[in-house]
Amino acid sequence: MALLADPDAPTEIAQRMARTLSARLADKSGQGRRFDVKVVSEAFTSGTEDPPTLMRRIMDRGSAENWDIIVALTDLPLHSHGRRLAVNLNHEHGLALLSLPSLGGLRLQTRARRAVEEAVLGLASPQTTGAEGPPRSQPLLGPFINRLAPIHPGQTREKGTDDLRYVVSGPRGYLRVLVGMVRANRPWRLVPGLSKALAAALATGAVATVNSTVWSLAVSLSTPRLVIATVGSVALMIGWLIIDAELWHRSAESSPEARQRARLYNASTVVTVGIGVLVCYVGLVVINWVWALFILNDQAFASVTRTPLDAEEYLTLSWFVASVATVGGALGSGLESDDAIRAAAYSKREQERRHRLQDDHDD
């Protein structure tokens, strides 16, 4: 059998999985069977995210290599008839297509391994065909699905490419796919990707920390006002990055499914950028606090604010300066190239998908 994986995260997951997959499958099959597992890293989703088209590509790839079973892994969210696809199956040809975002963002390696194991065992088990409906075998993802509702099997409309489909439905399913997309984007990579913006923020914070007007403002602000300043500066940074780097997705299609996909992609963008900006904000608070400990003079601070410089004042000042510095960082982000921000905010698969959509829109 083969694990056909998109480059980047899916390939990493498949390679880690393959180390123990053969032994686990042989042990769970209970029939003395042997499974030889091969990992193939290939951009099989390039140029399309249509499930029937992807299944045909997987089918052709398997026929060319004479593989008995193929499980394809992608980190693109897949949709079909307005529903979010988790697993596509073709028992006749031994094919399975797994969309990793449908598994969520927590314990992804374990969940992906369980899904692949149960998919392979289901495809390899003897089948019987009823008078109506798809071929029936042992329950494909029974225990796994029961623990991760709401994913439900359903008959499909695309004859010849699949005979069973599992989809993610409901609010919990939407949140699971969203979290999976955000994890695939790896939002922590946004921090080093905003080097110029962070440099501007650090410079702004260093200057603000020694400014007596900022001291007076920080001392006079209540906790609710500091929270408002935090929310406002973070929201400004998120909005500026999305607008300036043109990260907002606009669908060229007017169908309900296209609008649903656009909402999902934009939600993942906001959350991805938001997490990256929050990580930067917390880092600024810590750096400003250390800088304040090193540079501030108790007597000078007390003479201006008439408040002793204790631990609470250090924290309040660092908190307020981080908000001021974040606004400076938003302005500094304009020095970053749009491509650099997109590369930091999106996974390789998502970058390729957006480039393709932009090219189609330009054409």
User: For the chain, what are the domain ranges?
Assistant: 2-125+140-180, 186-360
Which amino acid appears at position 323 of this protein? Answer: S
Peptide bond into 150 cis (omega under 30): yes
Q: How does pLDDT run across 160-203, given as a tens digit for each residue?
A: 677 777 788 778 888 888 888 888 777 877 777 777 788 888 99
Across residues 247-269, what is the average pLDDT?
77
Residue 100 near residue 177, CB atoms below 8 Å: no
Pick the CATH number of 2-125+140-180 from 3.20.20.70, 3.40.390.10, 2.40.50.140, 3.40.50.2000: 3.40.390.10
Question: For residue 342, what pLDDT is reported?
Answer: 64
Task: Please state the rounded mean pLDDT for residues 348-361.
Answer: 58
CB-count burial class (<10 Å; 0-12, 13-18, 19+) for 32:
exposed
pLDDT score of 135: 47
- Contact residues for 26 (Cβ-Cβ < 8 A; gap 6+): 33, 34, 35
The more confident residue out of 162 and 134 is 162
Q: Are 11 and 112 in contact (CB under 8 A)?
A: no
331-347 confidence digits (pLDDT tens): 766 655 556 666 656 65
Q: Which single residue is written with the structure tokens 């750096």?
A: 287
Q: 223-244 vs 311-332: helix axis angle to the nearest 10?
A: 20
- 161 vs 46, residue with greater confidence: 46
Q: Supply the angle between the helices 311-332 and 195-209 in degrees, to the nearest 10.
A: 140
How high is the pLDDT of residue 17? Answer: 93
| Cut 0.75: pTM above it | yes
281 pLDDT more than 90: yes
Residue 54: C-alpha distances to residues 119, 120, 268 (Å) = 17, 18, 23
pLDDT digits (tens, 9 = 90+) for 62-102: 888 888 899 999 988 888 777 788 888 888 888 999 999 88
- In whole angstroms, what is the distance from residue 140 CA to residue 133 CA? 15
Q: Rounded mean pLDDT of 98-111?
A: 87
Q: 310-324 as b/e, with b when 16 or more CB fall inside 10 Å?
A: eeebbebbbbbbbbb
Short-list 225, 209, 362, 224, CA closest to 300: 209
Min mean pLDDT across 96-110, 164-178, 304-318 is at 164-178
The residues, ordered by sequence, that sit 6+ positions from 267 with a Cβ below 8 Å of its Cβ are 178
Between 73 and 358, where is the model more confident? 73
The backbone region for 107, taken as left when phi is positive above 0, alpha when psi lies in -120 to 50, beta otherwise, is: left
Strand partners, 98: 73, 87
Q: What is the pLDDT of residues 3-12, one digit of tens each?
A: 999 888 889 9
